Chains A and B, each alone.
Chain A
């Protein structure tokens, strides 16, 4: 079917693709994107270098599907849909960003075959929907919940964190990092506020030397001549100019006729600053943290008053500090009584690598903690942060919804089995679509095997057989030994929420793309 540009309905430069062509274009695009990230799936998945074409040619090395998809150029509309679902997955549950794209890609690949066999897309969609409902109920059925027992629950969390981390750069030290992540999450006591977990990256050292600190670490310096250690600190967090109070009226200027008057004005300005500092000190504080610069004069005054002053704490830092210390960010100082000060037991300087940092311990918000990441290079650190973030997100989800399933392709095999049973009972062409759905589900463990250089066909067949022989088999892909293995023994657990989200969004995305039969590209906007 030809492009209908000649129809004259569309603006010059716009184009339209119809029917077969449109469907073909979206299949090709979506499958290409899925194949791009496919090789990052699983514990033996590979990384990608993202090389920025812009200025600076920055290099990112990552294994995180969402990060890869976020940064690539995509021109194909269907591919954009997949990029979007991986982003949504990232926002919703934080992990499984690659799985969801691979799953959607597989569904589309199967759909393409069916369409070629003259199955109508709507029939495929109907089949997929029923299959998805069936798979979902199976998933709910096979999930289990250990919330009532804290020790078991912690073990679950540890296993989930390890499973998530095993596909990332942190895999060697996953024991260490899983403990870090679980400790950090359990400190939150279910509040799920990841803001309270602060991650600091410092080059040097090895990943093994990363640690969790109970308290808050600020990567800033204490002013000259001020106390370097304060116990029982009363802290005022502020966002106020401490250089000069500029008059904001445009073009304000003074006219004088003598030097003495200039000096007077200067003195008056200085006096204003002094007044401000005095007001701040009158809050009865011994530590003052400002988002903006603190100039020499106020710095000296603080030093004289024995107040620790920290300048230039950035926006993020300030907000977190206010949260952690339990104070509020202040920008006027006229009412000392109404201002809520922050508190902490001890502030002191510590040394990490070559840098000095400020450490707040015994903070008001007991949930807060800081994870200090060490690593050989900034690339490693960035990737470690992303991985740790994924793990934290998953753990957070698990804390709010404690249901857990096994990993290693176990739920997929179980779901596929149920869907196939459903297909065998379903009359009509829909059954074909359901069978296709089951195959797409099995493609996930197959991909994990392929990435590890294993014989995927054999292992998946073995898994299928094991699950067929025994109704509640716990067999999944054991990548390390390259065979089917007992997931409970290996401790490969995943969050129920993540798996469910992968299933639902993957199916939805495939459905959206399947429904398309016409792509209209608008004419590019004319420039200058």
Chain B
């Protein structure tokens, strides 16, 4: 018995239709909001937070996160871009734009009376097929091939404010990831091992990757302590150099003048003894963890430390301890009695350097350096700096994607056009509603080249049709060269991106669309 197509026509009740339409509309509105920031010629958004703070960014995930949306379906799109950020780190705008386009197609299909679950099932098949197609056009990449990695980072950076500095930032991102990566266990790559210190002043040109470690904090020199130390022995301490404090509440009872004097003296002696113990261990640079229970280090202690020619960096956050101990090869010390030479890390030079208006502490020439990297970012103002930070993060993620899945595909929307074309072709082999839905899916993917050319000020219809023609003629890598404003072979133009970014964008967007489609009611709850 053939399936009864006539029965599958779906009549929705008014309420269900309302809910679904409003969900789709809301999600589309979110997608439209970020649409114009796609691609190298995409525009930035200025987001003013309720507390008056302003950020300027091109990063889809950041824009959506700062936009406080309340509509449940719109929230799902925000979540979507966040998970793309987690998986691939890049393509956070594309994923939302694709999702919006798919939803628009869904609306058309629903109006024609296709049941939502049929759309949902066909879309999931289409997305699986799309990933297959992408894998078939992907080019394997070797981790040794630094140039290829840099090209991928370049593509990611090209849409950002900092694109003109991509020649500087891309190699930096590649080197940082390669340094952190453990060749034996490449899957354990953790981007938190890369420390990015952003410091205002100067231009992005002045950014550098430091062979060692940089602290945002100044060296404490109120008491005239040293700010430069050669052949440093670095101690990372978690105890405090301040008058003793017990966990039980205590009061010191002072009954006469003499006692007051004595307490004063005892405090000095106490601190002096601590400093002496530190000195005895051979330590000459101290990194002191922040403490909320009591002063991490008092002025008096600083004075003695300065006299003992020990350089001090204060206010190290507890989260950073692990990274520092990994980098310097030292162990955190939680009690002064445990100050032992073997727990210290050694470095050729620790010095405070002037960077723009501020100062940072640099540690270089570290012995037994762990697998970590530090990047010092510079920028003329806070907003540029923050955007540079986000862009660098994206670039790092791109490289990480390549470590996890070592394939590159062409950029400039050529994979989307290719997938769209092949899917449309595939849909002809299917039958019934499924074929119709897959066809719609293929058409929706064309939103990427369309938006890309629109944002670049080109004629989108011309470009998209031209691309279709070229791809149909077998030019698999033809894409939009936004800089030249024409269509070229993307591989020759060195526009490449990791496979994972595109596959995850398509699968995640599909998953999200399917979820939105399945909803037929919004129920208020407690």
Residues of A within 8 A of B (CB): 36, 39, 43-44, 46-54, 57, 59-61, 63, 68, 71-73, 169, 172, 203-207, 224-225, 244, 246-247, 252-260, 262-263, 265-266, 269-270, 295-301, 303-304, 349-351, 353-354, 356, 375-380, 452-455, 458, 481-483
Contact = CB atoms under 8 A, between A and B. Distances in A.
B511 A262 contact: no
A49 B79 CA distance: 15
Given A47-B519, A50-B525, A63-B518, A204 B83 contact: yes
B72 A51 contact: yes
B519 A49 contact: yes
Nearest to A356: B190
Given A36-B523, A61-B72, A259-B243, 13 more contacts: A39-B16, A61-B519, A206-B504, A254-B251, A255-B250, A255-B251, A262-B244, A266-B246, A269-B248, A349-B188, A378-B79, A482-B8, A483-B3
A259 B523 contact: no
Contacts of B16: 39, 46
Contacts of A48: 519-523
B252 A256 contact: yes
A300 B332 CA distance: 7
B262 A258 contact: yes
A131 B347 CA distance: 86
A91 B441 CA distance: 41
Taking each of B76, B79, B188, B247, which has the highest tally of chain A beta carbons within 10 Å of its own beta carbon? B247
A270 B334 CA distance: 11
A254 B83 contact: no
Given A39-B521, A379-B79, A455-B7, A262 B243 contact: yes
A47 B516 CA distance: 9
B523 A51 contact: yes
B335 A300 contact: yes
B524 A51 contact: yes
Contacts of B519: 46-49, 61
Interface in B203-241: 238-239
B18 interface: no
Interface string B311-337: 000000000011001000001111100
Contact of A39 (B70, B250, B511, B520): B520
A376 B253 contact: no
B45 interface: no
A453 B87 CA distance: 36
The 8 closest A-B pairs by CB, nearest first: A377-B79, A259-B266, A46-B520, A71-B525, A296-B238, A204-B86, A253-B249, A453-B10
A222 B102 CA distance: 43
B520 A47 contact: yes
A505 to B, nearest CB: 23
B83 A49 contact: no
Contacts of B3: 481-483
B111 interface: no
B65 interface: no
A169 B254 CA distance: 71
Contacts of A61: 72, 76, 515, 519
Tell me if A's interface is mostly helix, strand, loop or mixed. mixed
Contacts of A301: 334
In this complex, the member of A259, A269, A299, A455 whose beta carbon has the largest number of chain B beta carbons within 10 angstroms is A259
B466 interface: no
Contact of B83 (A60, A68, A296, A377): A377
B312 to A, nearest CB: 18
Given A39-B16, A207-B511, A262-B245, A377 B76 contact: yes
B338 interface: yes
B503 to A, nearest CB: 10
- Interface core residue of B335, B504, B523 (most chain A CB under 10 Å): B523
A27 B82 CA distance: 45
Contacts of A258: 252, 259, 262-263, 266
Contacts of A353: 86-87
B526 A71 contact: yes
B525 A52 contact: yes
Contact of A377 (B7, B80, B249): B80
Nearest to B115: A453
A262 B515 contact: no
A59 B75 contact: yes
Interface centre among A44, A203, A262 (most CB of B within 10 A): A262
B115 A46 contact: no
A44 B246 CA distance: 65
A52 B187 CA distance: 39
Given A376-B508, A481-B3, A259 B252 contact: yes
Contact of A263 (B86, B239, B244): B244
Interface residues of B, number: 78
Contacts of A260: 266, 269-270
B158 interface: no
B190 A351 contact: yes
Given A47-B518, A48-B522, A254-B249, A376 B511 contact: yes
Nearest to B252: A256
Nearest to B274: A263
B335 A224 contact: no
B512 interface: yes
Contacts of B251: 253-256
29 contacts: A39-B16, A39-B521, A43-B117, A47-B518, A71-B525, A73-B525, A172-B121, A205-B87, A206-B504, A224-B332, A225-B325, A225-B331, A259-B244, A259-B267, A259-B270, A260-B270, A265-B244, A266-B246, A296-B289, A296-B334, A297-B238, A299-B334, A300-B331, A300-B334, A300-B338, A353-B86, A354-B86, A453-B115, A483-B1
B136 interface: no
Given A254-B250, A257-B254, A263 B325 contact: no
Contacts of B524: 50-53, 72-73
B7 A224 contact: no
B124 interface: yes
Nearest to B273: A263
A452 B433 CA distance: 14
B36 interface: no
Nearest to B520: A46
A375 B86 CA distance: 11
Contacts of A253: 248-251
A244 B246 CA distance: 10
A455 B8 CA distance: 8
Contact of A172 (B11, B124, B338): B124
Given A53-B526, A262-B250, A257 B289 contact: no
B112 interface: no
A427 to B, nearest CB: 40
Given A46-B16, A300-B335, A351-B188, A51 B525 contact: yes
Contacts of B383: none
B191 interface: yes
A57 B70 contact: yes
A390 B113 CA distance: 32
A300 B333 CA distance: 7
B335 A270 contact: yes
A72 B244 contact: no
B525 A262 contact: no
Contacts of A297: 238-239, 334-335
Contacts of B79: 376-379
B82 A377 contact: yes
Nearest to A479: B117
Contacts of A73: 524-526
A349 B190 CA distance: 12
Contact of B511 (A206, A349, A354): A206
Nearest to A270: B335
Interface in B188-207: 188-191
Contact of A254 (B76, B188, B248): B248
Contacts of B190: 351, 354, 356
Contact of A262 (B72, B115, B246, B520): B246
Given A225-B331, A297-B334, A482 B7 contact: yes
A452 B117 contact: yes
